[in-house]
Amino acid sequence: MKRKLFTATLILLATLALTLLQPTLQTKTGTITLLTVSETAKKGGTATLQLFIKPGTGSIFLDSLPLSRLDTQSSTRYANQIACDYLDKDCSQYDFFYRIRADSNIVGGPSAGAAIAILTISTLTGTPLKDDVAITGTINSGGIIGPVAGITAKARAAKEAGFHTVLIPKFEIPVNDTNETIEGITLIPVSTLDEALLYFTEKTWNTVNGNITPPPSYTQRMQFVAKTLCQQTKHLQETLLQKNILLPEGKNYTKRASMAQQQGNYYSQASLCFSNNLQLRTALLNHTTKKEQLELFVKTRNEAIKLEHHIDTLPLTTITDLETYIIVKERIRDAKERVALRNAKNLTADNVAYAIERLNSARSWTTFFGMPGKKISLEQDNLKEACREKISEAEERISYAELYFPQILRDAKKDLSAAYGDAEQGAYALCLFSASRAKAKANLFSSLLGVNKNLIGNVTQEKLATVEKLLIKQQQRNTFPILGYSYYEYAKELLPYDPASAITFAEYALELGNLAPYFPEKKNTIISKIKTSAATLTPYLLGLLGGIAFATFLNYQTPNIPARTREKTLRRRRQAQRRTQQKKSSNNKKRTKKNA
């Protein structure tokens, strides 16, 4: 009976272990054809891309023959990241091995990015790809497919390789609004991974149901911020009129702020009133003496330091708390920078005005502290790790963008430098924000590579659609990212007036709308703090099986002794022990007499 129980237990645990370990012990593979072009963009070709996914730690390897260019390596890493983000999948438990094989040395550039992302998604999910469809296009933040060169040459190469359909970037120059045909190959313009995957798999991907519905706790607080800043606008306008100072010519800030209020876009209203306040305050200070400006300089600096000390004592327990801290702290830092002691001798109305209004904005945003939300772990170690990860992501994106925009990434590098400085000072929340902004700026330039300036608005709309899906998903997980939503709203407001600024804020929204994955959800149990994966459990389960197997082996080797036999054996042992003790006692008595 005992042996049967051990055997049944062993079989049960072995079955359980094999079930758990199956995903990790199995290598996933996939293949896709890349469309390539020579440096002169006159001759097209094809290459085979294979992907092997194995249990690991998130490493990415590229094996290319002939050797690929640096931008191909960078785009492979980025396409992998885009694919994992698209699936909302933690890819840190896998290693990815990409292998490119081509007949000639024509594999280079970022144009394989879309194909790499599609192959990665297909292999991770086990979804087969149609073998008569090919794609060319870069891959950008939000899963946007960007323009490439040599469409005609690639289409001809696709035909020679037996393909019937080639997916090309929708924002290609010239624009392809409808399907075209080149030498019997159908060219279909696509703008996102969603569209491309539909043609490759004949199934709909990334469907998100619902709408973004800001919670009342957000709306009420944002209304307060907007009301506070817009009341300041009225006060400044009245002061200027009383002093007979000509009101500066604005950019319809007042009218646009009123329209934003009517539409319920309170962040946009607040931002427009802030911009209005800045030019009104500057006009007012231009009519003051240097002494008066210096007094305001000192007062603003002291108030900024006081507010900063106050918020540093506040507990942070939710994503909203973290984002509020970032928003307020960043505004305080901006204000302090403008009224730094080194600027005291060279006072300007612009600097003092900006510091005052930035500080006013910081004060109003403190109302978001304590907004209800999901509890997360925001200990220093978690913030430090999030800062480190975001810096790494920003560095990678800047390095990639530098291959094409070596002269215009100054702002992104400045933000990255600020992130490093914040990290050295232990200001990990600000580091996270600065690194996120640096990454967003690098992504912005990459997204606009090859895009006609007249199409920036179209690209922005695609970005905003992606942000909307992201925000809906976050809200369905009981998280409402106030930074992501606020930037999303403001990007929509800016789009008709300033598409370039609109796409910038859309990138910010995309990057800052998904901070939650960097922080574990707060649990009440110790076990929940242990991060496990199938790969991590492998040695423990194998060890457990080995122990059980060894115990079972010993059980089989031990003979079954009848109960009566065991009792006799025990009696004999006890009798032998008594005889031994009696003998020792007798010997001791003899020694005692002899010594006496």
Task: Name every residue whose Cβ is closer than 8 Å to that of residue 182 and which is 6 or more positions away in sequence.
Answer: 151, 152, 155, 156
Of 465, 485, 518, the one marking the end of a domain is: 518
CA distance 144 to 55: 29
37 and 107 part of one domain: yes
Q: Are 42 and 364 in contact (CB under 8 A)?
A: no
354 and 491 part of one domain: no
**Residue-wise burial string across 509-528, b where 16 or more C-beta atoms lie within 10 A, e elsewhere:** bbbbbbbbebbeeeeeeeee
336 and 384 part of one domain: no
What's the per-residue H, E or C state across 164-179? CEEEEECCCCCCCCCC
Per-residue pLDDT at 240: 95
Q: Are 278 and 357 in contact (CB under 8 A)?
A: yes
267 and 176 part of one domain: no
Per-residue pLDDT at 339: 92
Residue 384 is assigned to a structural domain of this protein: yes
386 and 445 part of one domain: yes
Of 201, 227, 254, the one marking the end of a domain is: 201
Phi, psi of 126 (to 5 degrees): 70, 25
339 and 403 part of one domain: no
The residue among 487, 489, 379, 399 whose CA lies nearest residue 443 is 399
The residue among 138, 132, 156, 128 whose CA lies nearest residue 46 is 156
Pair of tokens at residue 79? 């396409």
512, containing H or E segment: helix 499-512
Range of the domain at 321: 216-368
Give SS3 for 246.
coil
194 and 242 part of one domain: no
Per-residue pLDDT at 288: 95
Q: Are 397 and 444 in contact (CB under 8 A)?
A: no
Per-residue pLDDT at 567: 64
The C-alpha angle 52, 57, 63, rounded to 5 degrees, equals 40
Residue 206 is assigned to a structural domain of this protein: no
Residue 442 is assigned to a structural domain of this protein: yes
Residue with tokens 């390095």: 399
Cα–Cα distance list, 349 to 250, 330, 352 (Å): 18, 21, 5
Residue 510 is assigned to a structural domain of this protein: yes
Per-residue pLDDT at 406: 76
Q: In a 10 Å sphere around its CB, with 0-12 CB exposed, 13-18 middle and 19+ buried, how is residue 224 labelled?
A: middle
Residue 258 is assigned to a structural domain of this protein: yes
37 - beta bridge partners? 44
CA distance 200 to 221: 45
The residue among 115, 31, 12 whose CA lies nearest residue 72 is 115
Q: Are 208 and 477 in contact (CB under 8 A)?
A: no
133: alpha, beta or left? (left if phi > 0; alpha if psi -120 to 50): beta
Q: Are 306 and 259 in contact (CB under 8 A)?
A: no
Residue 562 is assigned to a structural domain of this protein: no
CA distance 34 to 103: 12
188 and 275 part of one domain: no
Per-residue pLDDT at 540: 52
Per-residue pLDDT at 492: 96
Task: Name every residue whose Cβ is closer than 8 Å to that of residue 390 and which is 6 or more positions away in sequence.
Answer: 419, 431, 432, 435, 436, 439, 518
CA distance 256 to 270: 11
423 and 506 part of one domain: yes
The C-alpha angle 51, 56, 57, rounded to 5 degrees, equals 110
Consecutive sets of 10 residues in the chain, 596 residues long: mean pLDDT of each? 56 56 70 84 85 95 76 86 93 94 68 95 96 94 91 91 93 57 85 96 90 95 98 96 87 91 97 96 96 95 97 95 97 95 84 97 98 91 95 92 83 96 96 97 91 90 95 92 97 94 96 88 48 48 55 52 59 69 61 47
DSSP code per residue over 521-583:
BP-SSSGGGS---HHHHHHHHHHHHHHHHHHHHHHHHS----HHHHHHHHHHHHHHHHHHHHH
The C-alpha angle 460, 463, 467, rounded to 5 degrees, equals 135
Residue 402 is assigned to a structural domain of this protein: yes
Pair of tokens at residue 129? 């790809």
Cα–Cα distance list, 106 to 43, 68, 299, 392 (Å): 9, 8, 64, 30
CA distance 154 to 44: 5
DSSP state of 42: S
300 and 385 part of one domain: no
Residue 524 is assigned to a structural domain of this protein: no
Amino acid in position 348: T
71 and 102 part of one domain: yes
- Our count of domains for the chain comes to 3
Give SS3 for 60.
strand
Report the CATH number at residue 52.
3.30.230.10
Q: Are 390 and 435 in contact (CB under 8 A)?
A: yes
DSSP state of 266: H
Give SS3 for 147.
coil
Per-residue pLDDT at 110: 82
153 and 227 part of one domain: no
Of 177, 201, 225, the one marking the end of a domain is: 201
Distance linking the first and last C-alpha atoms of the chain: 63
Per-residue pLDDT at 391: 97
